[in-house]
Chain A
Amino acid sequence: MRILVITEHDGTTLRPASLSCLGFAQQAARPSSGEVAWLVLGQGIADVAAAAAQYAPVIAIDAAGLEHELAESYARAIAEVVKSGRFDLVAAASSTFAKDIFPRAAALHGGAMASDVVRHEWADGRLLFDCPRFAGAVTATIALHGSPQFVTVRASAYPAAVPLSQAATVEPMELPPATFARRARYEGLRSKQTARPDVAEARVVVSGGRAFKSAEDFERYVGGLADVLGAATGSSRALVDAGIAPNELQVGQTGKIVAPDLYLALGISGAVQHLAGMKNSKKIAAVNSDPDAPIFEVADFGFVGDVYAVTPELIKRLEQNGAGATG
C-alpha cells in the first residue's frame, strides 16, 4: 500500500497535526509493509520540505499558483500527484484547510472518503476506519469502496511521527499550468494576533463560556488564567456568536476538536455540541455556578461557583504554586 500524507504548514514550519497524521499513515502502512510519503504544496516551501524530510520522503510542488491555499488549485495538484504516484491512500489532518480541499481532491478520484478518522484496523485485508457521527454520540466503523481512498485524521487520536535517523529525499515535481487555474481570488486573512499557543495544539486549554459578559472580561479572566498555566484560550460557541471571543477559538462539533492534557472549562454549561470538541481531553476541570450543569458530568474535577469570583482566586493560588507562565 502506498500512502500519501498532505502536509499543512504556515510557509515556514510544519503544523504539529501533520506529524500526527504521518503517525497514522505509518501505523496503517505497517501490516502491508507499505510506503509512506508526504506532499508539501505551496510557494517558497524549501524550508518546510526540508523539515518534512526529517520524517519521511517528500514530494514538493513549489509553484506561484499555490501561493494561497485555494481549493480548486490545491485539489487538482493533490489529485495529479496521487495519480502519477499511484497512491492507494491519501491522508491529511482534520482542519479547515483539509476539510476545504480534501473532499474536492477526493471527488476528482471517485469520492471514496472518510472524515475525522479516530481509529483504524485491518480486517480481512481491508482497512476500516472509525469516524465519529452525531457530534461523537455514535462512532461508525466504515469501509470505503473504491481506490484511491481519502481520509482526514483527527490529530489528537494519533501520536506524532518520530524523526528518521537520516533525512529522506525531497523530490521536486512540476505540474502543468492548467492545474493552477481557478475562479476564486484570495483577498486576505484577518486574525487576532496572540502570543498564546494555538488552541488545537496546546497541552493545556482554558476555555470560557456564556458566563463571561464582555471581551475585556474574557481576556482578563480566561486569558489571565491561561497565561498562568502557559495555556491556550478556547471558547464555547455562545461567546463567539456574541462577538466576545474570536471564531478561531471555538471548541466544539463545528469548531475545533481538541484533546489537551488539561481542559479547564470556565462558565461553560456543557452542551453536547461543545462536549464533542473536548471530551477526549485527558483531564477536564470545570467551574460553573450551576451545580446541575452538564459539564460536571464529564469533568474529572469540578468546583461550583461564580467564575468572576473563583477565577481570580485560582490565578492567585496557581501563581503561588510556583511555575507561572512558561511562554
Chain B
Amino acid sequence: MKILVPTKRVPDTDQKIVASADGLRVETDHIPHVINPFDAIAVEEAVRISERLRDVEVVAVGIGGPEYEQPLRTALAMGAARGIIVQCAKPLDPWNVSRLLKAIVERETPDLVLMGKQAVDDDANQTGQFLAALLDWPQATFASRLEFIGNELRVDRETDHGIETLTLTLPALVTTDLRLNEPRYASMAGIMKARKKPLETIAAGELGVPLEPRVEVIRYRSGDTRRAGERLASLDEFAALIAQAAGIGG
C-alpha cells in the first residue's frame, strides 16, 4: 500500500502575525516556518500505519521553492520513505494546489491520500476536498481515528454534532483533525537516516497543469484587537456584571 501525504510549509502561528503597513502582505519573513501542524499529524498517522502493517510506503509531498527541503526532511526524519518537492516559485491558492496534487496522485497512484484538514495560515479548509472531487474519490474529513478493515478504511470524523463513523473503499482521501495523534519528534537516528532518503524535485511546469488563479487578495489588515476591560476585586460586582450581560435578574 502507498500513502501520499501532501504537506504545506507555514509560519509558526505561535508567533505574532500582522499585516504589513501597506496591507499588501502578511509579515512572515522573520518568523520561523514549520510543517502545517495538521499535516504533521497526517505524516505521523501514515508512519504509524507503515509501522503497523506490512509493505506500506509513505511519500511526503510539498509545493514550493528550495526552502521546502527542510520541512520535507523533517517528514522523512519522522519516518516517511521518500519525498517529492513540486517546485513553484509563487504561492498558490487551494484550487491550484489541489490541481498540482492531482497530477502527483496520477503519477504515484497511492491507495490513500492523508493530509491536514486545514493550513493554519489561510485557514481555508478546502484543498483536501477539492482534491477528492478532482479524483472522484470518497473522502472523510476531520478524522480522529483510522482503522483498516480488510480493504476498507473506517474513519471517525469530528463533526459539530458528535463523532461520525464512515467506511471508505480505497483509494480514498482523508483529512486529519487534531486528536488523531500527537506527532513524534524526529529522533537523531531518524534525522541521520532522512539525509539519505530520496527527495525528488519536479518543476510544476512539467506536470502539465496550467495555473488558474481563483483567489485575488485585495488587501490584508491585522485583526481587530479587543481592549482589556476591568479587573474586579468584588465577587458581588463580578456576578452582577455577568447577570446583566446574560440578561437575567436585575
Contact = CB atoms under 8 A, between A and B. Distances in A.
Interface of A: 70-72, 75, 95-97, 99-108, 110-116, 123, 128, 131-146, 182-192, 198, 200, 203-204, 229-231, 237, 240-241, 246-248, 253-254, 256, 261-262, 264, 272-273, 279, 282-285, 291, 296-305, 310, 313-314, 317-318, 321-324, 326
B144 interface: yes
Contact of B121 (A113, A134, A188, A237): A134
A189 B241 contact: no
A160 B227 CA distance: 28
Contacts of B159: 96-97, 100, 189, 248
Contacts of A248: 158-162
A273 B37 CA distance: 13
A263 B224 CA distance: 18
Contacts of A103: 94, 125-130, 133
18 contacts: A103-B133, A104-B132, A104-B139, A107-B134, A123-B218, A133-B122, A137-B18, A139-B221, A186-B166, A204-B245, A204-B247, A247-B163, A254-B117, A283-B245, A285-B238, A297-B228, A303-B232, A321-B239
Nearest to B140: A184
B120 interface: yes
Given A141-B217, A254-B178, 15 more contacts: A96-B157, A106-B130, A107-B130, A111-B95, A184-B140, A184-B168, A186-B166, A189-B164, A247-B163, A262-B246, A298-B226, A301-B238, A302-B228, A302-B231, A302-B232
Nearest to B230: A301
Contact of B125 (A99, A112, A198, A279): A99
B164 A188 contact: yes
B201 interface: no
Nearest to A76: B133
Contacts of A142: 215-218
A95 B142 CA distance: 12
Name the residue among B17, B133, B179 with the largest chain A CB count within 10 angstroms.
Answer: B133
Contacts of A97: 159-160
A186 B179 CA distance: 21
B223 A138 contact: yes
Interface SS of chain A: mixed
Highest count of chain A CB atoms <10 Å: which of B19, B98, B134, B162: B162
Contacts of A283: 245
A96 B219 contact: no
A115 B229 contact: no
Given A106-B130, A304-B231, A145 B138 contact: no
A18 B165 CA distance: 25
Contacts of B157: 96, 100
Contacts of B167: 184-185, 187
A182 B138 contact: yes
Contact of B230 (A140, A246, A300, A326): A300
B222 interface: yes
B133 A75 contact: yes
Contacts of B137: 183
Given A96-B142, A298-B226, A247 B179 contact: yes
Contacts of B130: 103-104, 106-107, 111
B139 A71 contact: yes
Contacts of A143: 215-216, 218
Contacts of B134: 107
B160 A188 contact: no
A229 B144 CA distance: 32
A254 B141 CA distance: 13
A264 B243 CA distance: 11
Nearest to A135: B13
Contact of A187 (B118, B122, B165): B165
Interface of B: 11, 13-14, 16-19, 26, 38, 94-95, 98, 117-118, 120-130, 132-134, 137-142, 144, 154, 157-169, 172, 177-179, 212-223, 226, 228-232, 235-236, 238-243, 245-250
Closest 4 CB pairs of A and B: A191-B162, A111-B95, A107-B133, A322-B249
Given A75-B133, A138-B221, A318-B239, A296 B231 contact: yes
A244 B138 CA distance: 32
Contacts of A272: 13-14
B33 to A, nearest CB: 13
Nearest to B156: A190
Given A133-B26, A188-B164, A248-B159, A231 B238 contact: no
Nearest to A102: B129
Given A183-B169, A187-B154, A240-B179, A321 B123 contact: no
A237 B158 CA distance: 13
A112 B95 contact: yes
A184 B118 contact: no
Contact of B218 (A141, A230, A296): A141
A264 B162 contact: no
Given A104-B129, A135-B120, A146 B168 contact: no
